[in-house]
Structure 1
Amino acid sequence: MHSPVFRHATLNDAEHCYAIEVGSYEGDEAATLEKITTRIHQYPEGFLCMEIDDEVIGFINAGCAWDVVMSDEEFKELIGHDPKAPNVVIMSVVIHPKYQGKGYSSLLMKEFISLMQKDDKQTIHLMCKEQHVDLYKHFGYEYVRPSASDHGGMVWHEMVMKF
């Protein structure tokens, strides 16, 4: 396994991150290029890229909210986002398919959690499919409930990590 480098996304990363997102998510669950560009522009501190040999191979992006409503579709465009808010909402956790199964997603998540702790955030929220619930529990997330969101026509489960 090559040693990854972590950095915040820039607008120059948008198209490459979009290609990874579309190649990694099923159906309509992938964010559009517009949404990815908006997320980088409005909150680069919450858009963490992982590079191997100077190539972005994965990323996590998020926004911050005072009151978290996981089924709020507008929030995916960072409507209501406030970088000073104490609650982080992850929108994408993505590793390029070529690099999956090699431990990179764990390194990426650990780095993201560390950054959010250093930024004095109080919680990290995410939604995942049922098959990923145990994975996120491994990182310290707690199961909250089945989500009211039907994003991408999928069934989602809400999870939270409290600091």
Structure 2
Amino acid sequence: MTSPVLRLATPNDTDRCYDIEAAAYEGDEGATREKIATRIVQYPEGFLVMTLNDGIIGFINGGCAHEVVMSDEAFKELIGHDPAAPNVVIMSVVIDPAHQGNGYASKLMQAFVEHMKTLGKQTIHLMCKERHVLLYERMGYRYVKPSDSDHGGMAWHEMVMVL
């Protein structure tokens, strides 16, 4: 079986990444095409895509901040993002539903963590639904608190990993 390959996103990946985001997230919790395009252009170092047989099957992206405020909706458009900041905030971790259940999300997350270490980052922050808290704890994240964010009308939980 072919192994997935990871690489940095390019603007040409925008439409495929948006299609995956729209298919995998519930309601309006997924990012818009414009937000995905902005994230790729403004911080390609923080946007990894996973390909299988040259087709994108998933991606992870984030931005960097000096002070992390997980409920800051404007940050999802990279307002306040500073590529030199030490703290990474993950915005999306997503695998095409047709490829879920194969361990790809864990591989994507592990590669992202290693990539952020090579960039000298100090922490990685994320928000997840309650059903994913234990998964992220197994990956090395520490539970912080229930989030003030009601993004997409959902309840979220904040997690952090010290690198």
- Aligned equivalent of 2:26: 26
Structure 2 counterpart of 1:158: 158
Partner of 1:142: 142
Aligned twin of 1:68: 68
State percent identity of aligned pairs: 68
CA apart distance, 1:46: 0.2
- Aligned amino acid, residue 113 of structure 1: V
- What residue is the counterpart of 1:59 in the other structure? 59
| Superposed counterparts of 1:68-147, under 5 Å | 68-147=68-147
| Alignment TM-score, normalising by the size of structure 1 | 0.99
Q: Number of paired residues?
A: 163
Q: Which runs of 4+ in 1 moved over 3 A?
A: none
For residues 94-143 of structure 1, what are the alpha-carbon distances to aligned partners after superposition, in whole Å with 9 as ceiling and x for unaligned? 00001100011111111000000111100000000000001101110000
Counterparts of 2:60 and 2:136, CA distance in 1: 14
Distance 1:106 1:149 in 2: 24
CA positional deviation for 1:55: 0.4
User: Scaled by the length of structure 2, what TM-score is found?
Assistant: 0.99
Measured in 2, the distance between the counterparts of 1:75 and 1:62 equals 10
Give how far 1:2 is off: 2.6
Name structure 2 gaps, 5 residues minimum: none
Q: Which amino acid aligns with 1:97?
A: P
Shift of 1:22: 0.3
CA deviation map 1:64-99 (0-9, x unaligned): 000000000000000000000000000000000011
3-state SS, counterpart of residue 12 of structure 1 = helix
1:41 partnered with 2:41: yes
Computed over aligned residues only, the root mean square deviation of the Cα atoms, in angstroms, reads 0.6
Q: Which runs of 5+ in 1 are unaligned?
A: none
